[in-house]
Amino acid sequence: MSEEPQRIAKYLARAGVASRREVERMIAIGQVELNGTILDTPAIKVTSADTIVVNGETIGAAEKVRFWRYYKPIGLVTTDNDEKGRNTVYDFMPDHMPRVMSVGRLDINSEGLLLLTNDGGLKRKLELPSTGWLRRYRVRVNGNPTEEMVAPLRQGIVVDRERFKGMEVRLDRQQGSNAWLTIGLREGKNREIRRAMEYVGLRVNRLIRTSYGPFKLDDLQPGEVEEMKSKTIKDQLGL
């Protein structure tokens, strides 16, 4: 059976170059070359028989969609390159790992579940607010939170003129001068949990993401990465 041609943006997203929208932007500014000619439109279909060069790098055939669970340790940033020269999660990936992208981010002082994929289109889809996946976190705060203190977080708050939707908040246990909470949210704005806790007078000193949609951290240890089986990807993502 002959290979079905694909739109170039989709093909490069599947090859792990970037999301479809980012590929279209790269084409618009002349960073993509097809069979020796600089492309000026994304309205073209390609196959693995075509030679595609992005920023001087020849791109191989699109791989099947692959997905990993990764326990991001504290102290790493979730970007390809950091302008401050800090270590990134990609600096510590196993040698056998292909080029991957993270689904969402965790800040440098947060840890826990980070999903990785080789498919830029899938990454963007799973990050969309409309996907509506619940993310759960185990959060340790300094202080003695009460139901009355955290009640506003369940209703939604405004912090620095930015609206945070209502969160799931459960008080778990007090541990000396600290307390543990479980928090669930569907947005994931910049430092949302830390800012929300500060709003009610609590300071976060540990934050661990334990789940992202149907995927869980389970028994992964800091720095460990585990590829998901094709059946799991199909069952959970319909791919």
* Residues with catalytic roles: 107
C-alpha span between 74 and 89 (Å, rounded): 10
Amino acid, res. 139: V
Run of H or E including 33: strand 32-34
Half-sphere exposure of 155 (CA within 13 A, CB side): 9
Run of H or E including 121: helix 120-127
C-alpha span between 140 and 74 (Å, rounded): 14
C-alpha span between 164 and 188 (Å, rounded): 9
